[in-house]
Amino acid sequence: MKYSYFPGCSLKGLGRAYEESLLPVMRHLGAEMNELDDWNCCGATAYMSVDEQLACVLAARNLALAEKAGARDLITPCSACYLVLNKTKHYIEDSPAIRAAVERGLGAAGLKCEGTTSVRHPLDVLVNDIGLDVIKEKVVRPLKGLKVAPYYGCQVVRPYATFDDAWNPTTMDRLLTTLGAEVVHYPLKTKCCGASLTGTLPEIGLRLTYILLKEAVRRGADVIATICPLCQFNLDAYHHQIEQRWGPVRIPTVYFTQLMGIAFGLPAKQLALGRSFIPFRMPSAKAGEAVAPRT
Partner 1 sequence: MRITRTVKYEAERVRGFGREIMAVPGCETLLSCIQCGTCSGTCPLSVYMELSPRQVMALVRADFKDEVLRSNSIWLCASCYGCTVECPREIRITDIMYALKQRAIRDGVYPKRFPIPILAKEFTAMVRSKGRVTETLLVMRLFMKANLMAVLSSWRQGIGLIRTGRFVLKHERIQRRGELETMLAAAARDKEGS
Partner 2 sequence: MNAGAGTEIRTGFYICHCGQNIAGVVDCPAVAEYVARLPSVVVSRDYKYMCSDPGQELIKQDIREHNLNRIVVASCSPLLHEHTFRHAVEAGGLNPFLFQMVNIREHDSWVHTDHAAATEKAKALAYAAVRRVRFHTALETKRVSVHPDVLVVGGGIAGIHASLTLANAGKKVFLVEREPSIGGHMAKFDKTFPTLDCAACILTPKMSAVGAHENITLWSYSEVVKVEGYVGNYQVTVKRKPRYVNEELCIGCQECIRACVYKEAKFPDEFNVGMGKRKPIYIPFPQAVPQVVVIDPARCLQVKSGKCKQTCVEACADRRAIDFTQREELVQIKVGNIIVTTGFKLFDAKRIPQYGYGVYPNVVTSIELERLVTSSGPTGGELLLRDGRTPQSVAFILCVGSRDYRTNRWCSRTCCMHSMKLAQLVREHTGADVTVFYLDIRAPGKGCEEFYDKSLKDGIQFVRGRVAEVTDWAVTPEEEGKLVIRAEDTLAGLVRRIPVDMIVLAVGMEPQSDAQDLRRLFNMSCGTEGWFLEKHPKLAPVSTFTDGVFIAGCCQGPKDIPDSIAQAGAAAAEAMALIDRGYIEQEPNTAYVVEEDCSGCKSCIPICPYTAITFDEAKAKACINPALCKGCGTCVAACPSGSIRQHLFEDEEIMSEIEGVLSHA
By the criterion CB under 8 A, which residues form the site for partner 1? 9-10, 12-14, 16, 38-41, 43-54, 57-58, 61, 83, 91, 94-95, 97-98, 100-102, 104-109, 111, 154-155, 158-159, 166-167, 190-192, 194-197, 199-202, 204, 208, 237-238, 240-241, 274-277
- Which CB atom, from 33 or from 211, has the smaller least distance to partner 2? 211
> Which residues lie closer than 8 Å to 79 by C-beta, 6 or more apart?
121, 153, 154, 155, 156, 227, 228, 230, 231
φ, ψ at 282 (rounded to 5°): -60, 135
> What DSSP designation does 116 have?
-
Residues of this chain that interact with partner 2 (CB under 8 A) are: 165, 167-168, 187-188, 211, 215, 218
| Side-chain-side CA neighbours of residue 147 (13 Å) | 15
Instruction: Give the one entry of partner 2, partner 1, none that residue 83 binds, where binding means its C-beta sits below a cut-off of 5 to 8 angstroms depending on kind.
Output: partner 1
- Which CB atom, from 30 or from 220, has the smaller least distance to partner 2? 220
Instruction: Give the one entry of partner 1, partner 2, none that residue 140 binds, where binding means its C-beta sits below a cut-off of 5 to 8 angstroms depending on kind.
Output: none
| CB of 259 vs partner 1, minimal distance in Å | 18
| CB of 215 vs partner 2, minimal distance in Å | 5
> What DSSP designation does 10 have?
G
**With b meaning 16 or more CB within 10 Å and e meaning fewer, what string describes 179-203?**
bbbbbbebebbbbbbbbbbbeeeee
| CB of 232 vs partner 2, minimal distance in Å | 21
| CB of 218 vs partner 2, minimal distance in Å | 8
User: If residue 223 lies in a helix (H) or strand (E), which one and from where to where?
Assistant: strand 223-226
| CB of 34 vs partner 1, minimal distance in Å | 17
- Measure the CA–CA gap between 232 and 18, rounded to whole angstroms: 9
Instruction: Give the one entry of partner 1, partner 2, none that residue 101 binds, where binding means its C-beta sits below a cut-off of 5 to 8 angstroms depending on kind.
Output: partner 1
| CB of 289 vs partner 1, minimal distance in Å | 31
DSSP H helical segments within the chain, as ranges?
Answer: 16-28, 44-50, 52-68, 79-94, 96-108, 122-124, 132-138, 171-178, 195-198, 202-218, 229-237, 239-246, 256-263, 284-288
- Which CB atom, from 83 or from 181, has the smaller least distance to partner 1? 83
Instruction: Give the one entry of partner 2, partner 1, none that residue 187 binds, where binding means its C-beta sits below a cut-off of 5 to 8 angstroms depending on kind.
Output: partner 2
- Cα–chain-centroid distance for residue 148? 16
- Which CB atom, from 73 or from 164, has the smaller least distance to partner 2? 164
